[in-house]
Structure 1
């Protein structure tokens, strides 16, 4: 006969009831409690089931969330389309103005040619030189008409080229390209009280090249400038420049072999030297609408709590390229606005060879595009100080815009002759000089580092 089991809960009563779920024996009283507990558990699951059913019913009945989201998407679509239409209309107007200006420019050149031709025909006062000039004018007009009759290409956006930041590795005795995304990423901007910037068209001329480079290198080295912007830099001069110990020791360079130059066989361009004490975030190159391989070179620098945007340009040369220069200046304005991102703590510097005199009708028109900028020469030296940096013209500029950076001084550099050379003379001039009584220095001409004078400006950063 089997031995009777006690209740598994109270251990006193006789275990007359067996639960096949938990495989335990219970007395009558505890078995009733055990079943009641399981009934309560089941009731709880039923309540949870009912709650889930209500949620599902609510979700099925309330479909407004779909329509609200779709309405929001529709509104977003309309807003974007409206913005695109407005921008497209602005671009369309600018394009029409540009095309019309090119057509008017060609017609004006033709009218001058026609008047000149009629005058020569009436007077008969012309020589071979005049015929050569007429031939050249006809060729230029044909080229202009050919361009006007071709399908016009228009880029809605210019994607900048991110340039490597070149610095000299003294251990390996070579220049090394760093990724702008990682360069200086671990360095905090240094506190700097003053900033010095230079712009200089150094002339691509091969005449007296070595002597001129020595003079240029000496000027730049002793300037101790933080930022140096150079135009008409050739590959051969660049090769010499990056070999200079003072450049290797103190500067980042935007180019070391002319790979950023865009004007083909002429092979010259703009180069920027940035002092290693500055926190250089990135270097960008923006191609211009150009016939001469011109572009905007932009450096983004962090000065403690101030962003410094520095651009250098060599705008389209020659007097009849006013329309192209206008387009290039508009590009500069757009680029600076984009990278300033409406932040108040931004200092903007745009410097270089603007290829037009600071006095004249074109300057008034072009500077209206940069109407919120300050021409530092006029601000610090006065409008009556002409400050000619080229032959009877002030074509080189430093344009400035800032709320906290204070310009202190701007002056010309490269004004001291570095040597002399015999003048080039015609046969008649040579004969005249032989019989001249005053021969002192009459056969010599002075040599300067460039056919331009450079500009050097100092800024106070104490408010940053």
Structure 2
């Protein structure tokens, strides 16, 4: 199927990258090929976002324990087996060493697709974005865009997923061929950091750039999750100005992801990490909850998985009305 782009942003040149699936023989990650036959009915999917701090020590251990935390403290509530519920994990600031550790985790090898699996797609050679997709979510493509006005080589990693959705009458007798396929585009984004007015302007421009990739025809829902570096008063309106809505509508303190851990006091407490969506009738997002509060690596009470907290939301696919 053709990739849809916004007409007003013809200068955006996506870099298509493979999705990878682990094969036990010959024990390596190989490019995954999407098949329309893999489409399955799905009503809900989980989305996580977490900035894992590429500068910290013990990068491999922190990656392993970040995944363990997501699995044991969040996903296990929704599954009675080792197989996770449909979920997507968006990671930012993944160091090369942490990526190597991720690709060795047996649970990830068994149940997930990963993109990318090396640093070739990153502008910075040492760290970048990684998206992990459970195998029970059909995903057809992945691509990276370089963001404008960046001194920090910021990017967005975008995937298209496809799910079948039945009519609202709940009639299970409807043949699968009569179920409509919903296409959802999900962006894993890392915007410009820094607390100056130039950085604030760059963040809004970058978010508009991402919105241009998500606000296109043939999509039933579009979501942007990531680390937005929004720590200034000038950043308050950038979400609405870009056409997004914030999935979090509760009290500010309950969604602060920066300044909460003991090792993240610079800039004070703020909502640096967000899950946004373009308003649509195709999906509803539950109020995001924080991930990783006081999470430390094994055998340590003081080495935190990250200086950021992550976020977790559940996306509910809205059935067609009959």
Which TM-score tier does this pair reach, normalised by the shorter chain?
A: 0.7 to 0.9
Matched, 1:353 2:203: no
Matched, 1:236 2:107: no
Distance across 1 between alignment mates of 2:71 and 2:298: 23
Task: Tell me by how many angstroms 1:184 deviates.
Answer: 2.2
Give the root-mean-square deviation of aligned CA atoms: 2.4
Task: Tell me by how many angstroms 1:351 deviates.
Answer: 0.6
Label 1:348 to 1:171 Cα distance change in 2 as closer, same or farther (>3 A).
same
Residues 204 and 242 in structure 2, CA contact (< 8 A), matched pair in contact too: no
Residues 216 and 449 in structure 1, CA contact (< 8 A), matched pair in contact too: yes
Structure 2 residue runs without a partner (length 5+)? 1-6, 76-83, 165-180, 260-268
Label 1:249 to 1:161 Cα distance change in 2 as closer, same or farther (>3 A).
same
In the TM superposition, what whole-angstrom CA distance separates every residue of 1:366-408 from its partner, at most 9, and x where no partner exists? 123233x221122xxx144442101111110000233132223
Question: 1:80-119, aligned counterparts within 5 Å?
Answer: none
In the TM superposition, what whole-angstrom CA distance separates every residue of 1:182-225 from its partner, at most 9, and x where no partner exists? x2234241011211010000111232434423321211333346
Residues 144 and 156 in structure 2, CA contact (< 8 A), matched pair in contact too: yes
Matched, 1:398 2:252: no
Of 124, 128, 138, 1:263 maps to 124
Partner of 1:171: 25
SS of residue in 2 equivalent to 1:356 = coil
Partner of 1:191: 41
SS of residue in 1 equivalent to 2:98 = helix
* TM-score for the superposition, normalised by structure 2: 0.78
Task: Tell me by how many angstroms 1:251 deviates.
Answer: 1.0
Partner of 1:35: none
Residues 200 and 229 in structure 1, CA contact (< 8 A), matched pair in contact too: yes
Matched, 1:335 2:213: yes
Question: 1:362-441, aligned counterparts within 5 Å?
Answer: 362-371=234-243, 373-378=244-249, 382-391=250-259, 392-401=269-278, 402-418=280-296
Question: 1:1-400, aligned counterparts within 5 Å?
Answer: 157-178=11-32, 183-222=33-72, 223=75, 224=84, 226-264=87-125, 267-289=126-148, 290-304=150-164, 305-320=181-196, 321-337=199-215, 340-341=216-217, 343=218, 346-357=220-231, 361-371=233-243, 373-378=244-249, 382-391=250-259, 392-400=269-277
Q: Which has the higher contact order (CA 8 A, sep 6+)?
A: 2
Q: Of Structure 1 and Structure 2, which has the larger fraction of its residues in helix?
A: 1
Label 1:408 to 1:421 Cα distance change in 2 as closer, same or farther (>3 A).
closer
Distance across 2 between alignment mates of 1:210 and 1:161: 27
Distance across 1 between alignment mates of 2:299 and 2:132: 31
Distance across 2 between alignment mates of 1:173 and 1:377: 41
* TM-score for the superposition, normalised by structure 1: 0.55
Partner of 1:104: none
SS of residue in 2 equivalent to 1:246 = helix
Residues 314 and 352 in structure 1, CA contact (< 8 A), matched pair in contact too: yes
Distance across 1 between alignment mates of 2:236 and 2:277: 17
Q: Of Structure 1 and Structure 2, which has the larger fraction of its residues in strand?
A: 2
Distance across 2 between alignment mates of 1:462 and 1:170: 37
Partner of 2:265: none
Distance across 1 between alignment mates of 2:61 and 2:29: 25
Give the structure with higher Rg (CA): 1
In the TM superposition, what whole-angstrom CA distance separates every residue of 1:274-316 from its partner, at most 9, and x where no partner exists? 1111111110111112211111111011112211100011101
SS of residue in 2 equivalent to 1:368 = helix
Residues 311 and 351 in structure 1, CA contact (< 8 A), matched pair in contact too: yes
Structure 1 residue runs without a partner (length 5+)? 1-83, 92-155, 423-444
SS of residue in 2 equivalent to 1:447 = coil
SS of residue in 2 equivalent to 1:229 = strand
Distance across 1 between alignment mates of 2:313 and 2:271: 16
